[in-house]
Structure 1
Amino acid sequence: MSQSLEQAWQLAKQRYADIDVSVDGALELLDTLPVSMHCWQGDDVAGFENPGGSLTGGIQATGSYPGKATNPGQLRADLEQAFALIPGPKRLNLHAIYLEAEGKVDRNEIEPKHFSQWVSWARQHQLGLDFNPTCFSHPLSADGFTLSHADDNIRQFWIEHCQASRHISAYFGKELGTPSVMNIWVPDGMKDLTVDRLAPRQRLLAALDTVISEKLDSKHHIDAVESKLFGIGAESYTVGSSEFYLGYATSRGTALCLDAGHFHPTEVISDKISSAILYVPRLLLHVSRPVRWDSDHVVLLDDETQAIANEIVRQKLFNRVHIGLDFFDASINRIAAWVIGTRNMKKALLRALLEPTEQLRQLERDGDYTARLALLEEQKSLPWQAVWDKYCQLHDVPVGAEWLQSVREYEHSVLSTR
């Protein structure tokens, strides 16, 4: 660490000590909070099931930046490059379409063996794995319905896919010694006016109950369900609404996934955390950035990202909230997108950990809202960046924007040759 960075670190320690915040304690706790990075940023949600296939289900990856991964080896190499530039603990979130199989394997036939290389790789890099059934971009989802489909045979296909996915998720958890969070999201809905909104939800309820009917060890596997306001092609009616899944997670004891882009434009998930956690055992967060609703832009260190981190830290939800990222931008270097978004999520967590929360809480209890506001504002200009730089140095990753040079070199030597 350079002399100037070391001096900044020592000054930061003292500044925070003056408000009774231990920066060493904050860094220790930050090292216990993994962020689950999503694999699909690396290849624009294409997967390896059907190379060249088109996306459906209201999902679009816009842009044509060169060098996207086209096979498992390339994707893992790109992930390793990104991981090397991000400090602290990380996980990887996989979709079912990232299987590795010889020949055609339909989604209701996937097995743990189709992900064994991912497990070996994760073990080598000391990563936990999370999982998602892929209920989109498939001939049997072409009309916009999967688990709520009116056709018994099609609905059964998707039930079997989700059941198979649960076994893969449990395999991840057992092999890697950390539970895999498996999130179920379906794109089911209608483009225009919908007369019968109840029947599809009744079918979805019954299908989900069938999917999770087999009891799996929570040490290995955690079920989560995710709502959405609307999607492209499902603008008028989404079966899996927020109300549907909050009720489902509450009554069935699953985790509830809150995606930052899946609500009305003026809604934020940071405000939902303290309400939902009263009723569900766990929350899964998909941290994203909706520029115009669910546009899945790269996560910034903005007010909402910070508010999400603050809620986790202020309420000490470390063992009940799982932090994942969900964005895919094909208009910029994909590895840089991972690095920017993940580092920003971790920065937000660090800033939250450096907050004098107990002091602020006491001021609030005392009704001294003047001092509360004053201290909240003053702490924004405290030298948290020096603490972040120290954290990067402790984990042997580049400080500041130095990481961008590594991405550029990798782009020149690897991505440009694809």
Structure 2
Amino acid sequence: MSYPESLERYAALGVDTEQALQTLAKTPISLHCWQGDDVNGFEGSTGDSGGIAATGNYPGRARTPEELRSDMNKAGSLIPGAKRLNLHAIYADAPEIPDRTELTSEHFRPWIEWAKEQQFGLDFNPTCFGHPMAESGFTLSSADSRIRQYWIDHCIACRKIAADIGEELRNPVVTNIWIPDGYKDVPVDRAAPRQRLEESLDTVLAADVSKEWNIDAVESKLFGIGVESYTVGSHEFYLGYAVKNQICLCLDAGHFHPTESIAEKISSALQFVPSLLTHVSRGVRWDSDHVVLLDDPTKAIFEEIVRCDALDRTHIGLDFFDASINRIAAWVIGTRASQKSLLLALLEPTDELRKLEAEGDYTGRLALLEATKSLPWSEVWNEHCRRSGVPLDTDWMKDVRTYEKEVLSGRV
């Protein structure tokens, strides 16, 4: 079936495929830099990993900022639509990289110039792990005031970096704070670390940083390696904190119980926070950050965002890192799967479904939901790829294989 024929099929259900394509093309997804180098970064520091580990040793990992940008260029050339890049603080690129508390936007100057050239937006993250000051397992919630202050200073520096980048690019930057703090075994005092975390975050947010160009977000987690029994920054903590302070709440698809969907949380959270950041990931039995697929949990996330008419209040980012396969292919597969999920949501005859639901016609609602699954959405997707000038799903791996042979194979 051709695209014009698909357009007619959808039009019969009241769905405008051209409008869906326009929305899809302008909705950016923030690719994560750490997929390209297995979360190593470029500062050369040592310390506790914070429970973060990329498994596998597929050849071709990026070893320098230049190599990472080259890989990102290749991935970007195979992904349709608008794109952003999510940077962690450990990816600074400068002749001399200072302590994390002394970082400025100039230490990310090559990334800023690259973003301008490639027409990417940028997002940012403090890196509160992989550092000697995080070896105790606690950062912003540490009982040691010296450690707390260190990470407070780092987070403030990162917010200022984000604001500078946002202003220069004329494109607001999301600064997402995640910390690894917690206990491996059952604690007695669960309250005190959370009280300290609240105080630290209050201090971080009190710093004078442009709200026009920096968007603050906080990210929860159910558990992590080494903090299986207690995570200070739980969902309940950060939901309450985001509501109280009216900041962005990050929902990571891998940071909840394996049978718990973040899609269910979206409509509730949006009633009380100004915006959401979704980290689209795929946990397998736990937060293992597998490459995103076009599966039911991923589709549900985008369905709920679109059904809530919340695309303008939702920042979409990816968060997975697989070192067992070609890293560029992982970016492309995961981003395309996310975009397809968004397209499916945009092509849903939501108005008709709402009408049936309001009338109490649940039989008709169920029948129509099932019917949409066999509609020719793939032709609409192919049209999106053609208009964006990128290969179709059956063709892009040829480019990756060539790049692997000519570039990645030389990295040892």
TM-score surpassing 0.5? yes
The residue that corresponds to 2:6 in the other structure is 12
> Structure 1: which 4+ aligned runs deviate by more than 2 Å?
101-104, 214-219
Deviation at 1:100, TM superposition (A): 1.4
Q: 2:133 aligns with which of 133, 137, 140?
A: 140
1:178·1:219 contact (CA, 8 Å) conserved in 2? Answer: no
The residue that corresponds to 1:37 in the other structure is 31
**Aligned equivalents of 2:97, 2:164: Cα separation in 1:** 22
Whether 1:404 and 2:397 are equivalent positions in the alignment is: yes
1:254·1:280 contact (CA, 8 Å) conserved in 2? Answer: yes
The residue that corresponds to 1:335 in the other structure is 328
Corresponding letter in the other structure for 2:118: H
Q: 1:165 aligns with which of 138, 158, 162?
A: 158
1:148·1:204 contact (CA, 8 Å) conserved in 2? Answer: yes
- Correspondence 1:68-107 to 2 at 5 A: 68-107=61-100
2:31·2:317 contact (CA, 8 Å) conserved in 1? Answer: yes
The residue that corresponds to 1:348 in the other structure is 341
**Aligned equivalents of 2:93, 2:18: Cα separation in 1:** 42
TM-score of the two chains, using structure 1 as the length reference: 0.97
The residue that corresponds to 2:121 in the other structure is 128
**Aligned equivalents of 2:361, 2:208: Cα separation in 1:** 49
- Correspondence 1:11-410 to 2 at 5 A: 11-50=5-44, 53=46, 56-410=49-403
TM-score of the two chains, using structure 2 as the length reference: 0.98
Corresponding letter in the other structure for 1:223: D
**Aligned equivalents of 1:402, 1:320: Cα separation in 2:** 34
Corresponding letter in the other structure for 1:109: E
1:21·1:354 contact (CA, 8 Å) conserved in 2? Answer: yes
Deviation at 1:297, TM superposition (A): 0.1
Q: What SS does structure 2 have at the residue aligned with 1:77? A: helix
1:61·1:328 contact (CA, 8 Å) conserved in 2? Answer: yes
Query: Percent identity among equivalent residues?
Result: 61
1:46·1:55 contact (CA, 8 Å) conserved in 2? Answer: no
Q: What SS does structure 1 have at the residue aligned with 2:43? A: coil
Q: How many correspondences in the alignment?
A: 411
Superposed CA deviations along residues 16-48 of structure 1, whole A, max 9, x for unmatched, are: 111111111110111221100000000000000
Corresponding letter in the other structure for 2:207: E
Segments of structure 1 that go 5 or more residues without pairing to the other structure are 1-6
Q: What SS does structure 2 have at the residue aligned with 1:129? A: strand
Corresponding letter in the other structure for 1:225: V
**Aligned equivalents of 1:322, 1:150: Cα separation in 2:** 33
**Aligned equivalents of 2:112, 2:48: Cα separation in 1:** 26
**Aligned equivalents of 1:215, 1:309: Cα separation in 2:** 34
Deviation at 1:104, TM superposition (A): 4.6
Greater alpha carbon shift after TM alignment, 321-330 vs 18-27: 18-27
